[in-house]
Amino acid sequence: ASEDIVELRQPGWWRKEAGRKCWQKLLNFPDKIKEIRRKGGLAAWQRNQKAHPVTLPAIIDERLCELLGAMMGDGCIYIASSSKTKHISICGNAVNDIEYLHKLQGLFKELFGRDATIRKEKGKNCSQFAVCSEKIYDFFVGLGMPEGVKKDKLAVPTWMWAAPSVQKKAFVRGLFDTDGGIYLGPSRLIHFCSVNLGFEEEICQILRELGFKPTIIFRSGTPSIYLCGKEQIRKYVDEVGFSNIN
């Protein structure tokens, strides 16, 4: 007679087997969650784009030039690495610049018909004005806004050189409102700081075309544009002005 073959297993074998399978699932879990989140986020973004249509400006005007100047100052456009969605953002001080960010929010709504979100970054004294839109992103690229890190890519757009003076002044105003300031101490001056010397030289050329007398001075290895003296300050306030008063 044939003998039955019985498989002998150690006590608690089923716990080990179940644990092994569970551990394999856990190892794959993060990747699955990332994929689910990516697909869910992308679907939500697509629904948002359909629910909030974009109106692109038909012409370049003073408002658009000022917004572009602010973007080249404290803003950026970038593509999210995970979702591949396109974003537009401007950062500012969470206290001093919050009123200015709300002004830009209104300007953005006028130009593109989209509401930008303003939120404070956790653990930082920084608030961010942000919009997610492929059409607006591509529109800014067409205007000459650098993609991603803009440090070494900044340049005055080619079309700006032939633009009317009112548009050049608006562009300068956006730049100085974000990366500039005014000092009314013993040495009265208005300044603009950028790590890109070539860009500063182009801004100086625009300022000279507008009748100003800019000077580039290096402090701690960083170049800055200065407009010095009462006459230069008065001329800037009267002809260019500030949208960010803080």
Res 49: pLDDT: 53
* pTM of the shown model: 0.79
Arithmetic mean of pLDDT over the chain: 85
- Per-residue pLDDT tens over the stretch 201-217: 999 999 999 999 999 99
> What integer pLDDT is reported at residue 39 of this predicted model?
55
Residue 71 CA to residue 178 CA, distance in Å, equals 9
C-beta of residue 175 within 8 angstroms of C-beta of residue 100 = no
- pLDDT recorded at residue 91: 92
Q: What angle do CA 114, 132, 82 make, to 5 degrees?
A: 170
Spell out the residues 6+ positions from residue 58 whose beta carbon is closer than 8 angstroms to its own: none
22-55: buried (b, 16+ CB within 10 Å) or exposed (e) per residue? eeeeeeeeeeeeeeeeeeeeeeebeeebeeeeee
CA 40, CA 30: separation in Å to the nearest integer? Answer: 15
% residues pLDDT > 90 (the chain): 62
Task: Measure the CA–CA gap between 201 and 155, rounded to whole angstroms.
Answer: 10
Q: How far apart, in Å, are the Cα atoms of 173 and each of 46, 66, 178, 220, 237?
A: 35, 6, 9, 25, 10
d(CA 227, CA 136) in angstroms, rounded, equals 34
The pLDDT tens digits of the residues spanning 109-157 come to 999 999 889 999 888 899 998 999 999 999 999 999 999 988 889 999 9
Q: What does the pLDDT look like over 71-106, one tens digit per residue? A: 999 999 999 988 889 999 999 999 999 999 999 999
Torsion angle, alpha carbons of 145, 81, 152, 56, to 10: 0
Q: What is the mean pLDDT of residues 51-79?
A: 92
Spell out the residues 6+ positions from residue 151 whose beta carbon is closer than 8 angstroms to its own.
Answer: 195, 196
